[in-house]
Structure 1
């Protein structure tokens, strides 16, 4: 336990990644892709596209959206450890232990 707290006392999360905001360009691409999905669905409903074609095209567009969406994934390490790292980690850990008991 002491080793873990010693590590927390030395841990510096000042360089931890923060949630990413999409650029205007990324937002525009997603909006265009969502419009394209709507158009594809309309075309399929009007039987202008075969189901196989619709699925293939939809998969392509959804893959582009997912690729941009991956930029938004940030591991929440800094948030989980907020207040539990740095020089006061031991005191904060002890306070948490007491609060649970």
Structure 2
């Protein structure tokens, strides 16, 4: 999930919602990475999910479905909000988890 979350954070950093709306390639790259994060979250075992209750597993997995099944169009505002706030929180949580699991010597 970090492999896709970090590029989303870099991509949206210093950018505006208007830029996002006006640039289809920007949208595509962010949406694709959010799909990947959602798919990865969906594939995490129940055991791991239960051991990490602070992560919003259902919401993350659900984000995959928005672009995949968004037949009526993709909500760009929701996508932008996810990319600019939720992804940053996810990165922070996952990095803390990794540090806890594998502390630096």
Fold in common (TM above 0.5): no
Larger Rg: 1
- Please, what TM-score do these two structures have when normalized by structure 1? 0.35
